[in-house]
Amino acid sequence: MTELNILQRTFVSAMRALTKLSAGYDMGPIQEEMVRTHGYRGTLRLMKLGADITTTLARSVGDYTAQTLIGVAALWNGCRYCVIGHIYSANLHYFKESGRLGPLDEDSLIDLMYMTDEESFAVLKDTFAGPEHARTWHLIERMYQLRFRDLDPAEGEDELLKATIAYWEWLNECTIILGIDAKPGSVPALGYMRPTQELVDGYDKARRAAREAARAAAT
């Protein structure tokens, strides 16, 4: 792995500090790898593009669905860090908005990543069954068709979904190796701007209770 020079290290330190200040978390060595791979300008362009896509997606479909779609895009690209972080973010949004748990438990994500794309798609279809998740599932299905079936864009969000797929393919070049050992509980809520500790604690308590109830029901 190529060592960064002093100017590059200073640039990375500034970026990490800015991310910590604005989002409340540190992306660790990922921004270092972005600079190593794409250089100064490429990294800034990459970060701005990601922010623009995330903001536009959230405005179009809502924060919960936007973070879910980003997490699923990362799933199909094989990046554990992004899958865990964005689905965790989606779950916090859903819990804040509805007081309920999102359908995808972070603890199930690593198993999902060991499946083929077709297998994971089938699991997602079952997971998002039900009228309350119909809109989110429709967009996941569209994204799958755009990603794997070369579907021509025809619906309102299709171009935005294609941009989401393309961006996370690009970004995951830098995150997939560094995030290979990522585990639920060790990855921050990516894309969520500073969730309150009360929200985090409330969600964690509800999720633990649901897991315990599921284990009890299985015995």
The answer to whether the beta carbons of residues 25 and 6 sit under 8 Å apart is no
**pTM for the structure as a whole:** 0.90
Instruction: Summarize pLDDT for 127-177 with one digit per residue, the tens.
Output: 999 999 999 999 999 999 999 988 787 788 899 999 999 988 877 665 656
SS3 content of the chain, % helix, strand, coil (to 5): 75, 0, 25
Q: What is the pLDDT of residues 33-62, one digit of tens each?
A: 888 888 888 888 888 888 899 999 999 999
C-alpha torsion 88→200→64→137, nearest 10: 50
Per-residue DSSP letter, 85 = H
Give the separation between CA 97 and CA 218, rounded to whole angstroms: 30
